[in-house]
Amino acid sequence: MISSPPGGTAPEHSRALDPELLSLPLRECAAAALEAAQAAGASHADVRIERLRGQDLALRNGRLERLGDDVTVGLAVRVVADGTWGFTSSPDVAVDEAVRLARSAVEVARASRPLNREPVELADEPVHDDVTWVSAYDVDPFTVPSADKVALFADWSQRLLASDDVDHVDVSLQQALEGKFYADTAGTTTTQSRIRVQPKVTATRVDPGGGFETMRTLALPVGRGWEYLTGDLYDWDAELAQLPSLLVEKAKASSVEPGRYDLVLDPSNLWLTIHESVGHATELDRALGYEAAYAGTSFATLDRLGTLQYGSPVMQVTGDRTTPHGLATTGWDDEGVQTQQWDIVRDGVLVGYQLDRRMARQNAAALGVSRSNGCAYADSPSHVPVQRMANVSLQPAADGPSTEELIGGVERGIYVVGDKSWSIDMQRYNFQFTGQRFYEIRGGRLVGQLRDVAYQATTTDFWGSLEAVGGPQTYALGGAFNCGKAQPGQIAAVSHGCPTSLFRGVQVLNTAREGGR
């Protein structure tokens, strides 16, 4: 499991910007678009030119199912004209196309003006003149021959299939190289590259009499390169060796008796609960209602900033886009704002939101700040930047307990490891999560796995039941590639760090009984 101290600074590294991105006519297109937009009457304009490379690889029972490699290149122009947004985009990165897009964006803004009652104004931000940033990794996964990847995963598959307790093995790896160039009429110009990988291994055991059970590895996506698959950052050999016996134990485990249990949540499970119940709930665009028709709103409304008791006093949550190897980590956001770290929940009280420039300006008085904290992001040149999630992380206690000590303090409970099913309502109140492994705790000791477990709670009740967070030795970074939001739909990769944590008296369901079985 990857661990990294929260709030650290990115290590020194010497990775270069994506040369394919740099080979595009970045500055010529940006200059032409910005000039054309201003000439057409835009009060603000920004240009993004992106080159996104992705590779998706999957093996089914040790044989290659798919191997696809995709490159997306495009140019996007966003303007404010007559106080209204206008956005256009094209796959053609050329000067004449940049000019056409800029003029068209102003036309789109003016055509939309009759529908707009709230003039767009952006928070002032320092100008960053021609700055660059590259994420930290050792081995660019796109330089590794596909044959090597297929051979590695075929070997993993065969190791698992050699067990009598495993009938099927699915291995997948998603890899992304994200190159972005940004320029705006204020004078900021940024060029950045990020790399990330997401490996998954799932073993399935089929009961000849009917029914089946699955178990997935706990490795989570991360802002690293191929070294995550072959280096000493994650002990793949150990987990693959354990997976068959863990799977058969789960398949034969007792079905949980529903009721209230103390839960010890491993970071491999808790990261997703943080994502849904804290990360999304503290996005200011949700709190303001901009996502009311789609992703939803938030119970954590702006009028409750500084007073909402989100959780118990041991709950300390930060937002950042600076954590080393974090999936939302970058140097500057898609509005040219330098990234940073800030408090979201302090001593259990809501104290901060995730912002972009427009919301920061519009709500400066209520927020008590007049600057963005750098959360604007677009997942492709085809999409407009919206406020997206930072790495939202629960902080460990400086001298906090180990996982074993947390388990030792539980008389009757469940230790939940790994994420699986997740769902939360459109105001971020009611949620339900499952996991990969559920260990029954009796008298402070693990006594074996349970099955059919889901926990269900209301966000503030759940975080109010947080009795203890583990120490830094239990802290780990989880995350996802596929956080969805906005219309047209966008996805974003984001990390969440957390320590092992103890929650008292959480409602546990039996999923088999929920299904009427």
Partner 1 sequence: MSTGRPDGGHDVVERVLALSRADGCIVLVEQSSRANLRWAGSTLTTNGAVRGRSVVVISVVGESVGVRSATVVDDLEDLVRASEAAAREAGPAEDAGPLVEGGAAADFADGAVETPPDVFSGFARELGAAFGAARGDGLALYGYASHDTTTLWLGSSTGLRLRHVQPTGYVELTGKSSGGSSWVGQHTRDWTDVDVAHLDAEVRRRLAWGARRLELPAGRYETLLPPSAVADLLAYAYWTASGRSAAEGRTVFSAPGGATRVGEHLAPAGLRMTSDPTDPALATTPFVATTASSAMSSVFDNGLPLPRTDWLRDGALTALVQTRASAARTDSPVTPYVHSLDVDGGGTASTDQMVASTERGLLLTCLWYIREVDPQTLLLTGLTRDGVYLVEDGEVVGAVNNFRWNESPVDLLGRVTEVGRSVPSLPREWSDGFTWVRMPTLRVPDFNMSSVSQAS
Per-residue x/- track, 181-210, partner 1 (CB under 8 A): -----------------------x-xxxxx
Give the residue, chosen from 108, 123, 201, 416, that forms a contact with partner 1 under the rule CB under 8 A: 108
Residue count (the chain): 517
Stretch that binds partner 1, among 39-47, 53-61, 123-131, 332-340 (CB under 8 A): 53-61
- Which residue in 245, 167, 249 sits closest to 212, CA to CA? 167
Give the residue, chosen from 124, 155, 257, 514, that forms a contact with partner 1 under the rule CB under 8 A: 514
Contacts of 354 by beta carbon, 8 Å cutoff, 6+ apart: 282, 283, 284, 319, 344, 373, 375, 387, 388, 389, 390, 392
Stretch that binds partner 1, among 1-9, 37-45, 101-109, 186-194 (CB under 8 A): 101-109
| Minimum CB–partner distance for residue 140 and partner 1 (Å) | 16
Nearest to partner 1 of 70, 237 (CB atom): 70
| Minimum CB–partner distance for residue 272 and partner 1 (Å) | 11
| Minimum CB–partner distance for residue 96 and partner 1 (Å) | 8
Give the residue, chosen from 4, 10, 17, 25, that forms a contact with partner 1 under the rule CB under 8 A: 25
Strand partners, 55: 69, 175
> Residue 96 corresponds to which tokens in the numbers above?
């004449």
Nearest to partner 1 of 2, 75 (CB atom): 75
| Minimum CB–partner distance for residue 425 and partner 1 (Å) | 4
Q: Give alpha helix (H) positions in 205-278.
A: 227-230, 236-251, 267-274
Q: 3-class DSSP state for residue 408?
A: helix
Compute CA distances 74 → 17, 147, 505, whole Å.
Answer: 17, 30, 51
| Minimum CB–partner distance for residue 199 and partner 1 (Å) | 18
Return the residues of window 215-274 that contact partner 1 according to CB under 8 A.
Answer: none
> Residue 95 corresponds to which tokens in the numbers above?
């000067």
Residue 427 near partner 1 by CB under 8 A = yes
Phi, psi of 33 (to 5 degrees): -70, -45
Number of other residues whose CB lies within 10 A of the CB of residue 445: 12
Number of other residues whose CB lies within 10 A of the CB of residue 211: 9
Return the residues of window 60-79 that contact partner 1 according to CB under 8 A.
Answer: 60-61, 63-74
| Residue located via tokens 């910005």 | 34
Q: Total binding residues for partner 1 by CB under 8 A? A: 95
**Contact status, residue 396 vs residue 499, Cβ threshold 8 Å:** yes
Q: Please spell the DSSP secondary structure of 269-324, one letter per residue.
A: HHHHHHIIIIITTTBHHHHHTTTTTTT---SS-GGGTTT-B-S-TT--EEEES-ST
Give the residue, chosen from 221, 223, 279, 296, that forms a contact with partner 1 under the rule CB under 8 A: 296
Stretch that binds partner 1, among 126-134, 261-269, 312-320, 509-517 (CB under 8 A): 509-517
In angstroms, the CA 271 to CA 280 distance is 13
Return the residues of window 109-168 that contact partner 1 according to CB under 8 A.
Answer: 109, 111-112, 114-118, 145-147, 150, 167-168
Per-residue x/- track, 327-366, partner 1 (CB under 8 A): ----------------------------------------
| Minimum CB–partner distance for residue 192 and partner 1 (Å) | 19
Compute CA distances 80 → 29, 84, 90, 110, 517, whole Å.
Answer: 19, 5, 19, 9, 57
Residue 429 near partner 1 by CB under 8 A = yes
Give the residue, chosen from 18, 45, 87, 464, that forms a contact with partner 1 under the rule CB under 8 A: 87
| Minimum CB–partner distance for residue 141 and partner 1 (Å) | 14
Residue 19 near partner 1 by CB under 8 A = no
